């Protein structure tokens, strides 16, 4: 399932060719739901959620491209095609360099990356009347089209919560476009609740 959170520009140009071994992600090897095949059933391979690295660049770009196409089809008035890869190597490298951002990758037993979650730390509000909070923004969530409805998105959300807590976050937020009702139901089932509705009109 693709999330409809707004895209954010990459920050920094750090590059990291090896996955970061984060203690909060150790052991996050989760069994997917069995898939029915004919009269019987077959157990699907397990999914491991880990911190992505630039070695995953091609797989990550493919997932971002699939997510972008979903948004272009739904809102051609907002999203358009552009030259170049879905996300540049520097852009992804900046997110991976952190420390307030990361990309989580869901991979199968054979190493195939089938999902991602992009997490960004929101800057604190300068307004003195705002209660101090540390908010992690789930900027994008994407799962390969041929792997959806198999629990992978939920595995990524669980890892997202673990990463956010390790960062000392008080809240996690995600933006969902009005057209993406499936995504809204998905997040609400996990525990997200509505906070602010953003309304738009032509000028």
Helix (H, G, I), strand (E, B) or coil at 81: coil
Rounded to the nearest integer, the mean pLDDT of the chain is: 84
pLDDT at 28: 58
- pLDDT band at residue 98 under the 50/70/90 scheme: confident
Q: What tokens were used for 173?
A: 């937020």
pLDDT at residue 160 greater than cutoff 60: yes
Closest CA to 139 of 182, 92, 75: 92
pLDDT at 137: 98
Alpha carbon of 92 to those of 63, 118, 191: distances in Å? 13, 10, 28
- Which architecture, in CATH terms, is 23-190? 3-Layer(aba) Sandwich (3.40)
Alpha carbon of 130 to those of 99, 124, 127: distances in Å? 24, 9, 6
pLDDT at residue 187 greater than cutoff 50: yes
The region of weakest confidence among 8-22, 59-73, 115-129, 183-197 is 8-22
pLDDT digits (tens, 9 = 90+) for 106-149: 999 999 999 999 999 999 899 999 999 999 999 999 999 999 99
Q: Are 158 and 115 in contact (CB under 8 A)?
A: no
User: Omega into 38 within 30° of 0, i.e. cis?
Assistant: no
Question: Mean pLDDT, to the nearest integer, of 180-195?
Answer: 96
- pLDDT band at residue 45 under the 50/70/90 scheme: low
Helix (H, G, I), strand (E, B) or coil at 102: strand
- pLDDT band at residue 5 under the 50/70/90 scheme: very low
pLDDT at 19: 39
DSSP 8-state code for residue 34: P
Q: Are 142 and 64 in contact (CB under 8 A)?
A: yes
Q: Are 114 and 104 in contact (CB under 8 A)?
A: no
pLDDT digits (tens, 9 = 90+) for 52-94: 999 999 999 999 999 999 999 999 999 999 999 999 999 999 9
């Amino acid at each position: 399932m693709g999330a409809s959170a707004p895209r954010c520009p990459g920050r920094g140009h750090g590059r990291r060719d090896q996955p970061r071994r984060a203690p909060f992600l150790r052991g996050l090897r989760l069994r997917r739901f069995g898939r029915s095949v004919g009269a019987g059933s077959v157990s699907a391979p397990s999914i491991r959620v880990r911190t992505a690295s630039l070695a995953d660049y091609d797989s990550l770009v493919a997932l971002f491209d699939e997510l972008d196409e979903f948004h272009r089809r739904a809102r051609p008035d907002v999203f358009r095609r552009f030259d170049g890869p879905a996300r540049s190597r520097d852009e992804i490298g900046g997110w991976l360099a952190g420390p307030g951002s990361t990309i989580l990758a869901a991979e199968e037993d054979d190493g195939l990356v089938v999902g991602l979650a992009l997490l960004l730390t929101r800057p604190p509000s300068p307004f003195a009347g705002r209660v101090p909070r540390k908010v992690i923004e789930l900027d994008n969530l994407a799962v390969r089209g041929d792997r959806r409805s198999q629990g992978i998105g939920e595995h990524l959300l669980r890892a997202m919560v673990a990463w956010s807590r390790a960062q000392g976050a008080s809240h996690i937020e995600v933006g969902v476009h009005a057209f993406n009702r499936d995504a809204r139901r998905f997040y609400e089932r996990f525990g997200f609740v509505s906070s602010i509705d953003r309304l738009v009109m032509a000028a």
